[in-house]
Structure 1
């Protein structure tokens, strides 16, 4: 389990803000970048489509980054675990899946309204990160996306560092998801 603070992902939020108004990052345990792209139907290296995704090798797995938001099929997490953090202009979402099942889902703006097969599975991590799971947390909302990214890391044991992000990603087209 990682105990890195949420602030460790501030660099990532800033990097994504330079590219788009939104962010969508999916942390996947124990998959290579190539296998993760194949699971969503993208051919690694094929950028012929209109929508694409970048797969970054990370410690413990892979992080997929796209600037739209295609909800990944639950089958994507078969045999592993995945957590997606999405923050757009009018919508936010956190989804943690394990072995093809949505375990915990909530809007980062409202982490106390959780759904899924085990909505409280990540509760200890959420409390440790200062997410308001039952009560008010005055400083939470400004840092909610970095905390959601840190939660994705803790849930999957996948860590994306600035060094991983600096290495060119493997890309693929995913038009069929949009």
Structure 2
């Protein structure tokens, strides 16, 4: 039986189920949480030119993303950024992924920390936790028992708490999609709940070069 403290800390992944119903997040997306940097600082660390950073709506962010996909054949990504409770949330759609780009993660996490969740309906879904340039924990969302990084087990108890399957591979595929659980894990680390209201929040946006 859980103690009151444990029950209070338990975070249901159901609050993130909306992500599987929202087109761009469900298909190909990357959402990253960066501690103690402003949106502009985070974008500049990714390589954005300061004078190109602009305020955009969520819909405009998607439009800019498609413009860059069609104009330079995936060589650039358009990244949206907003600030919440001392963290900057970075949003990418359809092209580019901080989760799998260790060079950008090293730059972005210098003297801070970054939690990143990547979704690709046609490929692998990943989760990464990086601190001061060091990849601490990385795993494929469908195989969270196969972790890597400098401390692959650091998040183990928290991963269990949010419902990620840590058993060995099975003969049959995992029935559920662990994408919402990874956002619950991100909330455990950051204290930030990525809510559906986020899509109504103005963003700062800029293009960055894909490596």
TM-score (ref. length: structure 2)? 0.73
Match of 1:65 among 79, 91, 104: 91
Structure showing greater radius of gyration is 2
Q: Match of 1:112, SS?
A: coil
Offset from partner CA, 1:46-103 (integer Å, 9 cap, x none): 9698220111222331211111233233121112111111111112211110111000
What is the match of residue 14 of structure 2?
7
1 CA distance for matches of 2:193 and 2:185?
11
Match of 1:26 among 19, 29, 32: 32
- Between Structure 1 and Structure 2, the one with more helix by share is 2
Aligned pairs (5 A) from 1:119-158: 119-134=152-167, 141-158=175-192
Q: Kindly tell me: are residues 160 and 19 of structure 1, through their superposed partners in 2, closer, same or farther at Cα, counting changes over 3 Å?
A: closer
Unaligned runs of 5+ in 1: none
Q: Match of 2:199, SS?
A: helix
What is the match of residue 117 of structure 1?
150
What is the match of residue 54 of structure 2?
45
Q: Kindly tell me: are residues 81 and 157 of structure 1, through their superposed partners in 2, closer, same or farther at Cα, counting changes over 3 Å?
A: farther
What is the match of residue 42 of structure 2?
36
Unaligned runs of 5+ in 2: 1-7, 56-63, 69-76
2 CA distance for matches of 1:66 and 1:99?
22
Match of 1:80 among 108, 112, 124: 112
